[in-house]
Amino acid sequence: MSSDYSDDDMPLARTNGHLSASTVSNAEDKAMDKRSSIKARPAPVSIRNGPVNDDASPQTNGTGKRKSRSSINHVNYKDGSDSEDGRLAKRQRKVKVDDSDDEVLSKRKGRLPPAADETSMIEDSDDDQPLNAKLASKKKAIEKNAEKEAKAIRASEKPKKPTPKKAIKDESDDDMPLAGAKGKKRPSNGVNGKGKVNGVKKDDSDSDAPLRKKAKTAVSKTKVKDEKPAPVKKASAKKAKKEVSEEPGEGEDDEEEYRWWDAPKKEDNSIKWNILEHNGVLFPPPYETLPKNVKLIYDGTPVDLHVDAEEVAGFFGSMLNSTHNVENPTFQKNFFNDFKEVLDRTGGATDRHGKKVNIKEFTKLDFKPIFEYYYSKNEAKKARPAAEKKAEKAEKDKLEAPYMYCKWDGRKEKVGNFRVEPPGLFRGRGEHPKTGKVKKRVMPEQITINIGKEAKAPSPPDGHKWKAIQHDNKATWLAMWQENINGSYKYVMLGANSAIKGQSDYNKFEKARELKKHITRIRKDYTQDLKAEGMADRQRATAVYLIDKFALRAGNEKDTENEAETVGCCSLKYEHVTLREPNTVIFDFLGKDSIRFYDEVTVDRQVFKNLRVFKKPPKREGDDIFDRLTTTQLNKHLSSYMQGLTAKVFRTYNASYTMSNLLRDLKVSDAAMAEKIKLYNDCNREVAILCNHKRTVGASHEAQMEKLGDRIKGLKYQKWRNKQMLLDVDPKQKKRKGVDYFQLDPELDEAWILEHQNFLIEEQRTKIQKKFEKDNQKRQEEGEKPMPDKELKGRLQAADELAKKFKKENKTKKVEAEGRGPTVEKIEGNVQKIEERIRNLELQAADRDGNKEVALGTSKINYIDPRLTVVFAKKFDVPIEKFFSKTLREKFNWAIKSIEDDHLWEF
């Protein structure tokens, strides 16, 4: 579908770098087909996808989990052709082309993500069909189902349409785009133009900031009737769980649960509340000065500092063990510049005689005394008695209690992040240019409070006042302030399990469900526009293809001086994309959270040709590939199909729709609980693979698998010992069950058995020691005399007896029956229980290993409609606790309760 926008709406070429031509001729398209006689590979398929471990790069995000590459804009290329598994292979012949963008990325330091054929799928069939072809055919089958469903939905709604004029006004699923139905000329570049909220555009598609949202257009009556969750027959009389920490003065211990999903729709959805009461925010404690004997050292001289400068020095000194931060040159430079500013403002540093010490060089600073002080303080804190820790926690809970809840239209709602962030050093994600800068202490004078007109405003700390108090019932935040590093706004919002947050999640997934009606037309139009003559239309169609098929994020342009330069589809640059004939595309860029992301995919031939055109000389490194497209323009185009549709809705739709298809085909069986859970995880894993939700293999994965393997081997040894006990009780069992039944598992050799026996002995000693210490501590707390060491020695004899027993077993090769009155039936029962535990652990090991490079949590929490998980749990009679933690059960309470009586719910 070529664009119908007016001239002033036509996307303009960006001014940075070289630009694409305004049109593409058919002759140019055909000429590219003649260049390659290689058969195209199955598409669209992600061959190798995921984050990259870049060993040479320092970690600069402060979490110790993410790694980013040291440079994003300097990519070296060399001739060569990669085999399917990513290893370099010799080229048999050189394909002569005019463009230089078909060269393969050079080998970089760091391990690439796994290839598709290295990732476990649900079905491990023995046929000869390559896995990439299976993935392609499975994707096409799912898209075919989507096409059928879209037609069926439109057909069921067609008779209900009013006259054409009204359809244009009221129906969001009409064939005419909403943009045209309004009869108004849209502002250029897709900007609403009606205003901003808190200085940020309302329709920023990639913004996660909790800003006030604009009023949403009411969904058509037909949709509400069709998609509203089944009403609960009996009015809910269930009481909400009593919270551990109660707000003082709140009398409603047992409030009736607010089932907002069953409540009638509001006429004006922009009004978020009528009554709002809360107690404001909790400030961090004031700074505690260092002891007089703990000093910052400069060039060998201990120096005295003003309390403000001492606090900043303590920020750096306390984190010397975080080497990926403190050894980062950018971190050091930014810290030292801010530290110097504080020194200049507070009078500088002096030695013990009061003489000025001019601090000029960062390398001459020694923070070790400060680090050692804070380290020893933390260790002492950890070593405190349990009673002291418990008392401190009780005091902390008492202090936080007034801030934990608010009154929202008469309901008690949990507040999410009521604590003001303490001062410290900014870390940022990836190679953030401001990492190491000082985050200043937030004062009450910076904070705006949002509260009901009739409510009493919270009192600021003594001697201070709030920046402002407002009563905006269209905003969902309770307090806000502006931080000093990037000038961004911080908001105090309701908790994840609140009605407001639940409604936001619900609307997100309902929007993805609505996309089912329009997906066929969108795909048909962008497929047609892949061959459009206009460059802007062709770039937009290619971008939508990549977002739909490979779950690429749309991407926003960054202020690279203040933010890490991360990339999405619309902001891809020349060096981020490598083309390999006939239809393989390699994306290599710094993605979300500044993780280097590598994605090797096969695409439709026309998409491959388009990308070659977008990289055509004189374009070079640093130039935009989609130079005639922005995220705002892309989302404006998508909203013409469906109210509120943006690029990120495709990720939710594709994940949820794929999961729905997979779950629909599953047959209910009498499998064990562990097998049912693995079946769900297999479906989740396939969604992650098909929707490109990958992750780097954790550094601890191998150790975890080894530990799990040892547990399995330990159970096999335990099973063998029980079988030997069976012979001790009844030697005739050897003849009845056969010799093989009593054989030792081949995995358990003599060396491993000796090592395992020593482990069991030491484990028992440790348990006895800890139990003794715990008992003594309890006696001391109760004012009783502690037990003597003689008691401990007596208890440890049990471990000595176990050592003697193992020694005897190793010598005689016989195991004496244990327990009171051992019988054949009891021992056989023990063997069966152990075998069941082994089966469960083996399923767990297979599941964990299969998930090592797949981000199941990403799919399950963010993109798969939680109601699908609830349906699976009901269908297979699995407790929902097996899939959702307590936090997630609270977050998705609406999903669990809204379909509790609807076993046939479908996405």
3-state secondary structure string across 121-160: CCCCCCCCCCHHHHHHHHHHHHHHHHHHHHHHHHHHHHHH
**What's the pLDDT at 146?**
75
The catalytic site residues sit at 863
Share of the chain above pLDDT 70, in %: 71
pLDDT at 745: 87
Does the structure show a pLDDT above 80 at 361? yes
Closest by CA position to 594, among listed 75, 66, 206, 208: 66
Per-residue pLDDT tens over the stretch 333-342: 999 999 999 9
Asked if 154 and 171 touch (Cβ cutoff 8 Å), the reply is no
**pLDDT at position 294, please?**
95
Q: At 125, is the pLDDT very low, low, confident or very high (cuts 50, 70, 90)?
A: very low
Amino acid 28: pLDDT: 78
Please give the residue that has the higher pLDDT: either 311 or 53.
311
Of residues 887 and 129, which shows the higher confidence score?
A: 887
Residue 413 confidence class, pLDDT cut points 50, 70, 90: very high
User: For position 384, what pLDDT does the model report?
Assistant: 86
- Token pair for residue 804? 């003697």
Enumerate the β-bridge partners of residue 45.
602
Q: Compute the distance between CA of residue 826 and CA of residue 689 in angstroms, rounded to an integer.
A: 46
Q: Average pLDDT for residues 733-756, to the nearest whole number?
A: 88
Q: Residue 449, SS3?
A: strand
Rounded distance between C-alpha atoms, residue 520 and residue 605, angstroms: 20
Q: Report pLDDT for 127.
A: 44
pLDDT tens digits for range 265-319: 777 678 899 999 999 999 999 999 999 999 999 999 999 999 999 999 999 999 9
pLDDT category of residue 158 using cuts at 50, 70 and 90: low
Confidence (pLDDT) at 34:
63
Q: Are 551 and 693 spatial neighbours (Cβ–Cβ below 8 Å)?
A: yes
User: Of 144-158, 697-711, 877-891, where does the model show the most confidence?
Assistant: 877-891
Segment among 153-162, 753-762, 884-893 with least mean pLDDT: 153-162
Assess whether pLDDT exceeds 60 at residue 108: no
Whether the per-residue pLDDT at 232 is higher than 50: the answer is: no
In which band, very low, low, confident or very high, does the pLDDT at 900 lie, cut at 50, 70 and 90?
A: confident
How far apart are alpha carbons 188 and 630 in whole angstroms?
12
* Whole-number pLDDT of residue 850: 64
Beta strands 468-470 and 448-450 are parallel
Higher pLDDT, 466 or 128: 466
Residue 40: predicted pLDDT: 61
3-state secondary structure of 415: strand
Phi, psi of 583 (to 5 degrees): -155, 30
Query: Above pLDDT 90, what percent of the chain?
Result: 36
Whole-number Å distance between alpha carbons of 681 and 850: 10
Which long-range contacts link 218-222 to residues 24+ away (Cβ below 8 Å)?
A: 218/265, 218/269, 219/172, 219/514, 220/170, 220/171, 220/172, 220/173, 222/157, 222/160
Top-confidence residue, 269 or 130: 269
**Cα gap 300→309, rounded to integer Å:** 19
> Which residue carries 């995919």 as its tokens?
601
Q: What is the mean pLDDT of the chain?
A: 76
Higher pLDDT, 311 or 774: 311
pLDDT confidence of residue 47: 54
- Residues 619-636: tens digit of each pLDDT: 888 899 999 999 999 999
Rounded-to-integer distance, Cα 200 and Cα 205, Å: 11
HEC letters along 534-551: EHHHHHHHHHHHHHHHHC
Q: What is the per-residue pLDDT across 557-590, written as a single tens digit (0 to 9) for each?
A: 554 454 555 678 888 999 999 998 888 999 888 7
Residue 110 to residue 69: CA distance in whole angstroms: 9
Cα separation, 318 vs 322, in Å, equals 9
406: which 2 tokens? Answer: 């608010």
User: What phi and psi, each to the nearest 5 degrees, are found at residue 177?
Assistant: -60, 145
Highest mean pLDDT among 186-190, 237-241, 260-264, 507-511: 507-511
